[in-house]
Amino acid sequence: MVTIPAFLILAVVIFGIGAVGVLISRNIIVLFMCVELMLNAANLALIAFSRALNIMDGHAFVFLVLAVAAAEAAVGLAILITIFRNRETINIDRFDMLKW
Amino acid sequence: MTEYLFLVPILPLAGFLVNGLLLGRLPRPVVSFLACAPVGLSFLLSVLLFFELKELPPDARVIEQVLFPWISSGSFLANIGFLLDPLSAVMILVVTCVGFVIHLYSIGYMHHDPCFGRYFAFLNLFMFSMLTLVLADNFLFMFVGWEGVGLCSYLLIGFWFEKKSASDAGKKAFIVNRIGDFGFLIGMFIIFWQVGSLDFRVVMEAAPTVFVAGGALITAACILLFMGAIGKSAQIPLYVWLPDAMEGPTPVSALIHAATMVTAGVYMIARSNVLYLLAPDALLVVAIVGALTAIFAATIGLAQNDIKRVLAYSTVSQLGYMFLACGVAAFGAGIFHLMTHAFFKALLFLAAGSVIHAMSGEQDMRKMGGMRRHVPVTYITMLIAALTIAGIPGLSGFFSKDEILWKAFSSPYGHPVLWVIGFLTAGLTAFYMFRLIYLTFHGKGRMDAHTREHLHESPKSMTVPLMVLAVLSVVGGWIGIPHLFGVTNFFERWMAPVMSGAGHDAASHAPAAGGGDTGMEVGLMVATVILVLVAILAARKVYGQTPELSTRLREKTPHLHRLLFNKYYVDEIYGAVIVRPLVNMSIFLWKIVDVLIIDGLINGFATIYDDISQLLRTGQTGRVRSYATVFVAGVVALVAYFLLG
């Protein structure tokens, strides 16, 4: 029987990989994938708690997160394409126009 | 006829607008015509109005024409209105007559000037302002004319503004006049505060009941009004602008700085005579300032070498006479001298202009001499003017000056000391005028050969005005021959209705005075005439017959000569006491207070914010990853805190 801590440790590990990936990756597509990793690590934790406590709230949350992740990927990729058309790069360090 | 009164000032305004708007686009003859015709028409209209006024009974000689209310606010009402009474009638006659003659003269004098149109536009604007000043029916509208003539004076002194001395002189005149105008305004405020109106007729009627005779308020109001007159009419201590004003074209000096504008102060005091009679202390101030200015300026005139400057100091001195007259409550005599002075001083200036014209622009009398053969008309007319101002019996200056001297002696407000000052000034006047005549027209010519060859009499357009003014200088005084010669003094009778208190007093005094006074009057008159003749002979001796005598005289009294030649160092004193501290303070305010403190504070705050922002923005890289790093670090820190803490 796999216990809750095992799920949680796996979730933390995946989340950490995702977070580190977000921080060090220069490629924006890799960055997106890392964000997905983090979201899914959170999903895993939610499901694990849901099952352990035997309530359905976690499941409902996971569906919401999946929907948001899909939407986020669609919008993010659209923005990415627009930026690429203007800048001809997907290197995140070059996208520093937030600063004057 | 009377409904056309407003046209007297409006016609020159039309001339100004046409010439001013079409500046330089019209051929010269058209410009001259457009400038002179309105002034000529104003003169004709003034003559007609004068006769109209004369038809009325003496006490009803007032024509008032209110065009429209100008400022109406609460209880305050100022009209655009014109008032014609014996006083303003004399003034508009003098102003339009002398003005017209000088306009004609200017056509010849300014012939070569590239800015012909601008000159005549300003001259017409001046005529409009001056006529507004004398015809206004309230203090405020008069002040419009008062400022208008000041503006035109500034514009015309600085007419040749490429010359630094000319533009400086213009500024000096304007700034010095501001000081006086400040007093004038405050005086006006006091009158409005107490009376509740600025209309001349209302104020004069109400003044005796509103003000306490001799009280502090009326005295303050009168002295403040007189401050305006001091500035405008170049009295001690604000006379310094007038000699410098000679930088303007000579006809301008004749019109504005001799005949008309500078007499505005005298007119204003005569107009407010009711107020001044309520304030004997203010009258005393007027008389003392007038007398001191008269003798002070006359002594400076003794040692000047610039022909126009001699005349300028002479003007200051004669204006002092007029204020002396006003100060002893002989307002009529003041206006009478104003009129005769307008004629002979305009003539002196125009003749000097003709001399300068012949000398190709040279104004230094030391380089003239022996010119009477070359410019005979100028010589004769100027000689007539000099005899007139000196006060030779029969000429206009004699009657007006003598009346002032007699009033200074005999009036209840007069004093023998005032008479003595006036008497000495008469001698000095005769001396410096004949010094001018002898240096300029007699003796050997001291000009260089080139100038000598070009010596020529001026064109007709300049000599005819000279002759007209010469005739006026001679006969102008005959309307005011004193009673003592067994004729009625027309001028005094004419002015009587305006000079409410003073006029009637003089009339009632005359018969009661008896024979003793008449003897005294004749005695003083004879004394003055003898002094004048002696002064003329002395000038002839020193400057005409033995020129080396003047050099010896100068060497014998080097300090006195230097003092007079440098005009008592008044300009230098003002420079050191007033101008330099003001300039230094301005530099302090500019460089220390404004640039260093005010700008420094504002720029300093900006710089501080800028520096802090520069420091802070180093954290704002604009890169998503660095923000994310901070965010993650924060989360890690929080988690660690809750887990471990």
Angle between helices B460-475 and B376-390 in degrees, nearest 10: 20
- Find chain B residues with C-beta within 8 A of A18's C-beta: none
- A22 touches B at CB < 8 Å: yes
Instruction: Provide the pLDDT confidence category of residue B505 given band limits of 50, 70 and 90.
Output: very low
How big is chain B, counted in residues?
A: 645
Chains A and B form CB pairs within 8 A to the count of 27
Q: Residues B10-34: pLDDT tens digits?
A: 999 999 999 888 876 788 888 899 9
A96/B625 Cβ within 8 A: no
Is a pLDDT exceeding 50 seen at residue B209? yes
Q: Domains in chain A, please, with CATH?
A: 4-94 (1.10.287.3510)
Is a pLDDT exceeding 60 seen at residue B627? yes
Is a pLDDT exceeding 60 seen at residue B513? no
Is a pLDDT exceeding 80 seen at residue A98? no
From the list B620, B625, B632, the residue facing A99 with the nearest CB is B620
Q: Residues B76-116: pLDDT tens digits?
A: 888 999 999 999 999 999 999 999 999 999 998 888 888 88
Cα B458 from chain centre? 28
Q: What are phi and psi of A71, to 5 degrees?
A: -60, -45
Characterise B568 by phi-psi region: left (phi > 0), alpha (psi -120 to 50), beta (else): left
B625/A92 Cβ within 8 A: yes
- B621 touches A at CB < 8 Å: yes
Nearest CA in chain A to B630: A23
- Find chain B residues with C-beta within 8 A of A95's C-beta: 623-624
From the list A19, A92, A95, the residue facing B632 with the nearest CB is A19
Burial tier of B380 (Cβ tally within 10 Å: 0-12, 13-18, 19+): middle
pLDDT at B510: 44
- Find chain B residues with C-beta within 8 A of A23's C-beta: 625, 628-629, 632
pLDDT at B584: 94
- B2 touches A at CB < 8 Å: no
- DSSP labels, B194-221: HHS--BHHHHHHHHHHHSPTT-HHHHHH
> CB atoms < 10 A from the CB of B218, how many?
25
pLDDT at A1: 67
Is a pLDDT exceeding 70 seen at residue A100? no
C-alpha B129/C-alpha B143 separation (Å) is 10
- A17 touches B at CB < 8 Å: no
From the list A19, A24, A96, the residue facing B622 with the nearest CB is A96
Q: How does the average pLDDT of chain B come out, rounded?
A: 89
Nearest CA in chain A to B617: A99
Chain A residues 33-92 with CB within 8 Å of chain B: 92
Mean pLDDT to the nearest integer, A38-42? 93
Q: What is the largest CA-CA distance in chain A?
A: 56
Instruction: Provide the pLDDT confidence category of residue B337 given band limits of 50, 70 and 90.
Output: very high
Q: How does the average pLDDT of chain A come out, rounded?
A: 88
- Find chain A residues with C-beta within 8 A of B620's C-beta: 98-99
Nearest CA in chain B to A16: B632
Is a pLDDT exceeding 60 seen at residue B504? no
Mean pLDDT to the nearest integer, B417-434? 93
A95/B623 Cβ within 8 A: yes
pLDDT at B501: 53
- B552 touches A at CB < 8 Å: no
Mean pLDDT to the nearest integer, B259-282? 92
Is a pLDDT exceeding 80 seen at residue B503? no
Strand pairing report for B63-73 and B76-84: antiparallel
pLDDT at B512: 38
pLDDT at B377: 92
Mean pLDDT to the nearest integer, B468-495? 83
Taking the CA of residue B627 and the nearest CA in chain A, the distance in Å comes to 9
Mean pLDDT to the nearest integer, B553-567? 83
Best of A15, A23, A90 to mutate (most B CBs within 10 Å, chain B) = A23
What are the beta bridge partners of residue B81? B66
pLDDT at B551: 81
From the list A23, A93, A96, the residue facing B629 with the nearest CB is A23
pLDDT at B328: 92
Is a pLDDT exceeding 60 seen at residue B3? yes
Taking the CA of residue B639 and the nearest CA in chain A, the distance in Å comes to 13
Taking the CA of residue B125 and the nearest CA in chain A, the distance in Å comes to 60
The highest-confidence range among B152-166, B441-455, B555-569, by mean pLDDT, is: B152-166
**Three-class secondary structure of residue B30 per DSSP:** helix
A97/B621 Cβ within 8 A: no
Give B520-527 contacts, CB < 8 A, sequence gap 24+. B520/B409, B520/B410, B521/B406, B521/B410, B521/B482, B521/B484, B522/B484, B524/B405, B524/B406, B524/B409, B524/B419, B524/B423, B525/B402, B525/B406, B527/B423
- Find chain B residues with C-beta within 8 A of A87's C-beta: none
* Structural contact between residues B344 and B473, judged by C-beta atoms closer than 8 angstroms: yes
Taking the CA of residue B596 and the nearest CA in chain A, the distance in Å comes to 32
Q: Residues B43-75: pLDDT tens digits?
A: 999 999 999 998 888 888 888 899 999 988 888
pLDDT at B24: 67
B621/A96 Cβ within 8 A: yes
C-alpha B419/C-alpha B427 separation (Å) is 13
- B623 touches A at CB < 8 Å: yes
Find the helix or strand (DSSP H, E) in which B65 lies. Answer: strand B63-73
Best of B610, B616, B623, B630 to mutate (most A CBs within 10 Å, chain A) = B623
C-alpha A25/C-alpha A41 separation (Å) is 18
Reported ipTM: 0.79
What tokens does B511 get? 């018969």
pLDDT at B49: 93
Q: Residues B128-175: pLDDT tens digits?
A: 999 999 999 999 999 999 999 999 999 999 999 999 999 999 999 999
- B613 touches A at CB < 8 Å: no
- Find chain B residues with C-beta within 8 A of A98's C-beta: 620, 622, 624
Of A43-47, B131-135, B239-243, B542-546, the least confident: B542-546
C-alpha B133/C-alpha B263 separation (Å) is 11
Mean pLDDT to the nearest integer, B503-508? 43
pLDDT at B379: 93
Apex A11 CA angle, A6 and A14, nearest 5: 125
Is a pLDDT exceeding 90 seen at residue B491? no
- A7 touches B at CB < 8 Å: no
Taking the CA of residue B601 and the nearest CA in chain A, the distance in Å comes to 27
B320 versus B496: the higher-pLDDT residue is B320
Burial tier of B226 (Cβ tally within 10 Å: 0-12, 13-18, 19+): buried
Instruction: Provide the pLDDT confidence category of residue B607 given band limits of 50, 70 and 90.
Output: very high
pLDDT at B545: 80
Taking the CA of residue B626 and the nearest CA in chain A, the distance in Å comes to 8
Instruction: Provide the pLDDT confidence category of residue B360 given band limits of 50, 70 and 90.
Output: confident
B622/A98 Cβ within 8 A: yes
- B112 touches A at CB < 8 Å: no
